[in-house]
Structure 1
Amino acid sequence: MNTYLIIDIGTSSIRGIIYDKTGKIIYKASQTYKPKYLPDGSVTQDPQIFIDLLIQIIKQCTVFARDNAYEIKAISMTSQRSSLIPTKGGQPIAQTIMWQDTRVNKILDQYRDYDDFFLQRSGSRLNAVYLGAKICWVKYQSPEIYAEADKMLNIPSLLLYQMTGTYTTDTTYGSRTNLMNIHDLTWDPDLFKILGLDVNKMPEITAPGDVCGYITEEFSQKTGLKKGLPVISAGGDQQCAAVGSGSITNDEVSINTGTRGYLIKNVDVLPKILDGNIIYNTSANPNKYILEIDLLACSSTLNWFIDNFYGERDFDKLNQDLSDCYGQHINLAVLPFHKGKSIGVYDTHIRAAFSNVGLSTRRKDMLYALMASLFVEINKGLGIFKANGPISSVIISGGLTNSTVMDQMQADAYNMPVHKTASVESTAIGALISVLVQQGEYANFHDAAQNIIDDPVQSYEPNLDNVQCLLDFDARNTNLYSNLQGTASGYYKE
């Protein structure tokens, strides 16, 4: 039987999943790792770990396939998007600067006058998460590494080189660099010139879903994969997750409430003037763009509250506490900006706040209000999207969908029906759809999605009584933010 191997590289794990063409999981292997977090804001990882674990996981998959008479027909890769690895001759020469690393923020301050130019050319203002900022940081902080490196790669580009011997990156990753022209999908010499970077250190740009190379003899011997198998770059993890959750048409929005929160909407063409409230990326679905709005902290905010106020992860207790408070008037005002505000106003200095806490305030009241504050903030992002086209469906996934109460709260906060994805592997499913279309199993993404993606496991209609409660709550939060913004009370002081 023909099967397809999907490689899914996350922030803390790498997985290999063998699927058949119907989307059935045949075999799964995974390994975890943990980036190093330091007080100076650095988040790093030994890049050799990615190479070693890739080989280990593929070995497991090929042994299983051989022993059970499955033939792997092609490989498709999806990955986290914006971690940097300086390389020479295809080998790492420095630690991976992970996407969460915040040391680059100060480097960008000197270029803020160019923010709108970068927005209109690259699809985003200068962004510390993006690869361009990290390359700039390496050039100024470690000039010897910058000079020695012949290629500046993200994680998937490094691993694609190990597999195929070619330097490539697709446009979904290119649109997360601040260095690719979002309109013609090529490296933009003007953007490189402003930051003083060398375009020759970048890999070749391809389209998502294209074959970017073939398994080499050397990699075949290391892993057992057949030499010459095609390797497809399916696109970045959030783009693939949107596809895999079923967000294919332009009137559907995917909301992923992971460590960060991501709102994604498909469009066919970009507006003439790009809006600074939106990040513009290319889609994993060829010939489409995505509008993206990010929350700087999402399920990580819940984790913070659990660690500091509950002490143990008793999700039955959490759900019961949320149920006890559901539908009640929220007396608190809450700003869920543990890492700053990013929707409507980009303000990384503002921090989280609880207001109107009294002696009668219970832990469960604070939990419910904190979750509600996240969802009404996400709703502001939906409002921005609605100005760019109608929304008929909202598809939810991620850590904050593990509670039926929170799922209902999302429907109430958005005042729209929401549909929870059935598969926990939406990112891998998106990468599978990409390779199946490339290999001719389906004519297009829509046909593949119709045959592979399960119907939503649950749908929720808004409770109109609670909709009004959340609107009142949001008004108090907005008032609190406007009063704290720009004051010592509203800002973290180092």
Structure 2
Amino acid sequence: MGKTNTTQKECIITIELGTSAVRVFAFDIAGNVIGSAKGIYPTFHPEPDYSEQDPEQLFITMLYVLKNFLTETVHAKKYKVLTICFSAAMHSVLPIDKNGVPLGNVITWADNRGKDEAKKLKESTLGKNIYKATGTPIHPMSPLVKITWMKNKDKERFKKTNKFLSIKSYIIQQLTGEYIIDYSLASATGLFNIHKLKWDADALDHAGIAVNKLPALVPVFHAEGKLRKEYQTSLGLSADTKIITGSSDGCMATLGAGVWEEGKATITIEDSGAMRVVGKEILKDEQQRFFNYVLTEGYYVSGGPTNNGGIIFEWFTKQFGDFKNAYDIESSMMELINDASLVAAGSDGLLFLPYLLGERAPIWNANARGVYFGLNINHEQKHFVRATIEGILYEMYSIGKTLEEHRSIKSLSVNGSFGTIPFCSQLIADIFNKPVSVSKNTSSVGLGTFLLSATAMGIYKNLDAAAKSVEFSETFKPNKQHNAIYKNYTGIFERLSKKFNAEFEAIANLQ
């Protein structure tokens, strides 16, 4: 680690624009956490398959949390902020007019309204070519499909749109005046050619837009933007505070998990989830099951995402948890997990397909639905709790199996607020039959964003060196007996996920 040239304490701020919350961290130059803050915001579902958020609410929440955190923690401890670096959830689309005013809500990754457009494109030769060029699976999640849907089904808004932004692009523009998007987040849009590092002509043509309808492309280390004077004043930051564009939450979670070598993979489970590997080559899959996102030139983060991570257990807790303290969902979740620990591996034959939000990898079926299967008269609430957790992790295992068709994976690193619960980490080890390590810093997105900032500042020579600095607090070893049980249940889980395809579509059509 490099040393600072001044006696004044200095720090790096990271801002994660997550699906349900903004998370702000302050790190000192040595990578120690000074403090953190969090603010939540809702997702709206005005119609089936719709998932939207209010961009102004996100921005105000971020600003409020950041200002209070700076005042109460960073400034109070006499730290000077050197940089602010961003990460964000992928696949969001926000149309704005010529004055920069949002035309409605931001459409999130979980939105499935474009499933007809996605199905038609995926089955075409054009769709296969776009997937190979962009690395983004053809699915309603992608901005390519969302914009195509808008062109076909929301024509007035499409005509009024001056630019299509991600939520991170919108917030950075509010702070600095720049309309930009980093290569990494752009590579999750389905509109960006990951081989040429520019917007893809075929994808743009399909969406019916020109390059000027999108923000300017910049590297993840881009730091030319400056805070507007009004925010310098209100936040108490100097004019020389660097605003680093940063990357996506997925890529930052992978960097923060220290997964940078052959034989390693990371599992992230927050609201959604993903399993990822890092390499210098793209994973080529004729079945279009994987994403290949650019982190920096020559480094690709590849893997599969699930819609149904911790948000599913949160849903279960809200419906069936015992809220002894109003709104205390975390305590209620832990009580349910304690109940689950009393049930044998496999939940005595109760299985859960966790597809409450449709599903991405590996089945890529926006019509998929949640199912409890194998229910008998002896099952109690505690069985449902464990089956729900196991179902979320079975889905992650099914992603891992497809990844292992292309990569040898000997060990796992797990991160995210849900994945790092010790009960869940042990289950992952048992189901995968692999050792599972947990980072000392459980917020791998925040740590990864710090490591990217520190690399941009020259504290680390490169991202390889940054990734190798990650330390782990605990390793969970698989229980062989439990793994033997889970081998049978994961097989049933995968077969059911395929067998229900026709019924998933039939019930979706009824809505």
**TM-score, scaled to structure 2:** 0.87
CA distance in 2, matches of 1:440, 1:200: 33
Structure 1 residues 65 and 286, CA, compared in 2 at 3 Å: closer, same or farther?
farther
Residue 463 of structure 2 is aligned to residue 421 of structure 1? no
**Number of residue pairs the alignment of both structures matches:** 491
Pick the aligned partner of 1:191 from 192, 203, 206: 203
Matched residue type, 2:303: E
CA distance in 2, matches of 1:232, 1:434: 9
Distance 2:489 2:63 in 1: 51
Q: Who is 1:455 aligned against?
A: 472
C-alpha contact 2:136 2:189 (8 A) present in aligned 1:
no
Question: Structure 2 counterpart of 1:412, which letter?
Answer: D
Q: Are the equivalent residues in 2 in contact too, given 1:326–1:405 (CA < 8 A)?
A: no
Distance 2:471 2:247 in 1: 21
Is the Cα–Cα contact under 8 Å of residues 223 and 242 in structure 2 kept in the other structure? yes
- Give the distance between the partners of 2:271 and 2:168, measured in 1 at CA: 20
Three-state SS of the structure 1 residue aligned to 2:431 is helix
Deviation at 1:188, TM superposition (A): 0.8
* Residue aligning to 1:295: 306
Q: Equivalent residue for 2:326?
A: none
Seen in structure 2, the aligned counterparts of structure 1 residues 466 and 222 have a Cα distance that, compared at 3 Å, is same
Whole-angstrom distance in 1 between the partners of 2:505 and 2:198: 44
CA contact (8 A) 2:321 2:333 kept: no
CA distance in 2, matches of 1:482, 1:28: 42
Q: Which one-letter code corresponds to 1:106 in the other structure?
A: D
State the SS of the aligned residue for 1:214: coil
Aligned equivalent of 1:146:
158
Contact 2:337 2:423 in 1 (8 A): yes
Aligned partner of 1:92 in structure 2 is 102
Structure 2 unaligned spans of 5+: 1-8, 324-328
TM normalised by structure 1 equals 0.90
Q: Is the CA contact (8 Å cut-off) linking 2:278 and 2:301 kept in structure 1?
A: yes
Structure 1 residue 76 displacement after superposition = 0.9
Query: Cα distance 1:21–1:328, how it changes in 2: closer, same or farther (>3 A)?
Result: same
Corresponding residue number in structure 1 for 2:401: 383
**Alignment partner for residue 201 of structure 1, among 186, 208, 213?**
213
Question: Residue 310 of structure 1: CA displacement?
Answer: 4.2
Structure 1 stretch displaced more, 68-77 or 396-405:
396-405
- Partner in structure 1 of residue 115 of structure 2: 105
Please identify, of 202-211 and 33-42, the stretch whose mean Cα deviation from structure 2 is larger: 33-42
- SS of aligned partner of 1:294: strand
Q: Deviations over 1:442-463 (max 9, x none)?
A: 1122333444x3423x211111
Percentage of pairs with the same residue: 21
Structure 1 residues 185 and 305: alpha-carbon distance in aligned structure 2, compared to 1, 3 A threshold: same
Aligned match of 2:382: 364
1: distance between equivalents of 2:16 and 2:347? 42
Equivalent residues in 2 for 1:80-479, closer than 5 Å:
80-87=89-96, 88-112=98-122, 113=124, 114-271=126-283, 275-283=287-295, 287-312=298-323, 314-327=332-345, 330-401=348-419, 403-451=421-469, 453-456=470-473, 458-479=474-495
Q: Equivalent of 1:52, from 60, 82, 99? A: 60
Q: Which moved more, 1:374-383 or 1:210-219?
A: 210-219
**Partners of 1:246 and 1:178 in 2: CA distance:** 27
User: What secondary structure, in the 3-state scheme, does the structure 2 residue paired with 1:111 have?
Assistant: helix
In the superposition, relative to structure 1, how do residues 101 and 240 fare at CA in structure 2: closer, same or farther (>3 Å)? same
Deviates more, 1:255-264 or 1:390-399: 390-399
How many Å separate the matches in 2 of 1:212 and 1:110?
41
8 Å CA contact 2:283–2:290 kept in 1: the answer is no
Task: Tell me the CA shift for residue 170 of structure 1.
Answer: 0.7
| Separation (CA, whole Å) in 2 of partners of 1:18 and 1:292 | 29
Deviation at 1:242, TM superposition (A): 1.6
Residue 356 of structure 1 and its aligned partner are, at CA, apart by: 3.0
What is the CA-CA distance between 1:250 and the residue it aligns to? Answer: 3.8
Q: Which amino acid aligns with 2:92?
A: S
Q: CA deviation at 1:124?
A: 2.4
Displacement of 1:324 after TM fit? 2.2
Alpha carbons 1:115, 1:125 under 8 Å: kept: no
Distance change >3 Å, CA 489–CA 241, structure 1 → 2: closer
SS in 2 for 1:419: strand
Q: Secondary structure at the match of 2:298?
A: coil
1:482, distance to aligned residue in structure 2 (A): 4.7
Residue 389 of structure 1: SS of its match in structure 2?
Answer: coil
Q: What is the match of residue 34 of structure 1?
A: 42
Structure-2 separation of matches of 1:483 and 1:93 = 41
- For 1:132-189, what per-residue CA distance to the aligned partner results, in whole angstroms no more than 9, with x for missing partners? 2222333334434333332211111112222332221111111111110121121011
Determine if contact 2:418/2:424 at 8 Å carries over to the other structure: yes
1:398-417 CA-partner distances (Å, limit 9, x unpaired) = 34335433322211110111
Separation in structure 1 between the aligned mates of residue 13 and residue 347 of structure 2, nearest angstrom = 50
Amino acid at match of 2:485: C
1:17 to 25, 32, 36: 25
Q: What CA distance in whole angstroms lies between the structure 1 residues aligned with 2:290 and 2:232? A: 42
Question: Which whole-Å CA distance do the structure 2 matches of 1:382 and 1:98 have between them?
Answer: 25
Structure 1 residues 97-155: Cα deviation after superposition (integer angstroms, max 9, x where no partner)? 23323323334344342331221111123221122222233333443433333221111
Is 1:6 matched with 2:24? no
Report if the CA contact (8 A) 1:86-1:92 is conserved: yes
CA distance in 2: counterparts of 1:181 and 1:7, whole angstroms: 27
**Secondary structure of 1:476's match?**
helix
1 CA distance for matches of 2:28 and 2:218? 26
> 2:58 is aligned with what amino acid?
F
CA RMSD of aligned residues (A): 2.7
